Amino acid sequence: MSNPFEDAEGTYYVLVNAENQHSLWPGHVEVPAGWTQAFGPAGREKCLAHIEESWTDMRPQSLVDAMESAAR
């Protein structure tokens, strides 16, 4: 069985949640609650390139906020 995230020829999206976490997302699967399409539809490589470029701080947003307020 092939995994929906491993189709090199497939169409994908990039999803983002409220914590600014990114997820590759297969085009034929419904977008789950709490996630929005940030990029796509596009080929797998394009989506990964977008993730590389846009997800620069991998800390969840709530941690970023907490660390900033602790630093203040």
Q: Which two three-digit tokens encode residue 53? A: 């470029």
Using CB under 8 A as the binding rule, whether residue 37 contacts another protein is answered as no
Q: At its nearest, how many Å lie between another protein and the CB of residue 4?
A: 5
Using CB under 8 A as the binding rule, whether residue 8 contacts another protein is answered as no
| C-alpha pair distances (Å), 28 with each of 4, 10, 45, 49, 71 | 9, 9, 17, 20, 43
Q: What are the φ/ψ torsions at residue 57 (nearest 5 degrees)?
A: -105, 110
Contacts with another protein by CB under 8 A lie at 1-7, 10-11, 14-15, 17-19, 21-35, 48, 51-52, 55-56, 58-60, 62-63, 66-67, 70
